[in-house]
Chains A and B, each alone.
Chain A
Amino acid sequence: MATSIKKLPDIEQVLSGNGACGGCPATMALRIVGKALGTNAIMLLTPSCSVASMGMTPKLGYNWPCINITFASAGSSASGITHALEIMKEKGRLEGELPTVFSWVGDGGTYDIGFQALSAAAERNDNIIHFCYNNEAYSNTGVQRSGATPRGTYTTTTPSGKRQPKKNMALLMLEHNIPYVATATVAYPGDLYDKVVKAKNTPGMKYIEILAPCYLGWQFDMAETVQLSRMAVRSGAWLLWEAENGKISFNSPSSNIISGKKAAEPVDEYLMKQGRFKRLLQGSDASQRIAEIQGDIDQQIAFMRERAKINI
């Protein structure tokens, strides 16, 4: 069982009155991350909504030392910091427990421009946590397609719907043989909290991806941010899983979908809640488009079910 809401720590590392949109899933998730990491951490950000949200010089909306770095560099810059801290401690210039070094990066900075440096950091197994808060598009620049955008999605650069399915980024990270990989989403804060605590206590490279429904990019009512997160999981469009030392396990409620105990809800309702799909589902090809999206989801469920059985 995931940690209950009432047992989550009081500590707040996201400070009220920051620059994020109302209902922002990234700050919602980052609050939970802060409760798990505490104050002894160093945060890296690449250009993304969370940079726009963090306040403008000289004000900072996060209670960590933060460094904004070049877009392609989350993996390498986080490695630079963690190595610097370790050698400075070895040389006696730092005392006490070393801070957790974590990157807080969007899907663009993870799936696309940041992939090379991230892959290399994973291959080196450097001691960092890479968080990808995934809103399935370049939301900060006004919602353009990314490698995380699912098939059939309207974005400003896919006006008739994206033709290609998204990457399975978390699985790609797992295939680097790193000690910990997890997926999470804002509707399940206890699950997210537990995963961050595990990552914090695991040496080496950790990857946690958090589905972050963005009302602006996805075109729904901002009050429904958590609802959309929940619907993504219940429909199987987002699977909650984690892998410790390569062994995949699924978390509730995704575990029920994988085991077949409970069928995934049809994706229709989830899609029709979102303008980014709904606007393309008005014509005669609507059922074909929905079938395509459903097909991608079914394929991923089936694939992950089988992938989890590989345990060598």
Chain B
Amino acid sequence: MKSVTKAYRPISWPMKGSGGDTGSWRTHRPVVDHNLCNKCQFCWVYCPEAVIDRIEITIDYTYCKGCGVCAEECPTGAISMVNEEEE
């Protein structure tokens, strides 16, 4: 049977930024030193937020929450966490 009324359900649709511009949560920002980076992609795979480009190793700061996992897991020390207020 077809509905005769629109069914009002609490429906949500996929989109980036479902929690807002989560980059504003950051206290520290990951900065990549491309000279040290060996493109192992550890930062990409461990990033909980999917904000790292696995080829370019660039970071989407609109959403990066600044957890620091990428810097911690980087085997070459190419990522450092910089205090947001020191810029």
Contact = CB atoms under 8 A, between A and B. Distances in A.
Contacts of B66: 22
Contact of A224 (B21, B54, B72): B72
Given A17-B63, A18-B18, A223 B12 contact: no
B68 A5 contact: no
A17 B21 contact: yes
A69 to B, nearest CB: 13
Most A CB within 10 A of own CB, among B11, B20, B49: B49
A14 interface: yes
A17 B22 contact: yes
Contacts of A55: 12, 15, 18-19
Given A24-B48, A226-B72, A5 B40 contact: yes
| Chain B, interface residues (CB within 8 Å), range | 35 or more
Interface string B1-35: 00000000011111111111111011000000000
B67 interface: yes
Nearest to A62: B14
Contacts, number: 128
| Chain A, interface residues (CB within 8 Å), range | 35 or more
Most A CB within 10 A of own CB, among B48, B51, B60: B48
Contacts of B60: 16
A267 to B, nearest CB: 21
Contacts of B20: 17
Interface in A188-243: 189, 221-227
Most B CB within 10 A of own CB, among A17, A22, A54, A62: A17
A53 to B, nearest CB: 7
B21 A227 contact: no
A222 B12 contact: no
B49 A222 contact: no
B73 interface: yes
A18 B19 CA distance: 4
Nearest to B11: A58
Nearest to B9: A57
Contacts of B44: 5
17 contacts: A10-B54, A15-B18, A16-B50, A20-B49, A22-B25, A22-B26, A27-B48, A31-B48, A32-B45, A55-B12, A56-B12, A57-B11, A222-B67, A225-B48, A226-B69, A226-B72, A226-B73
* Chain A to chain B: the 7 pairs with minimum beta-carbon distance, closest first: A55-B18, A223-B68, A23-B67, A22-B65, A19-B19, A22-B67, A17-B17
Interface of B: 10-23, 25-26, 40-42, 44-51, 54, 60, 62-63, 65-69, 71-73, 81
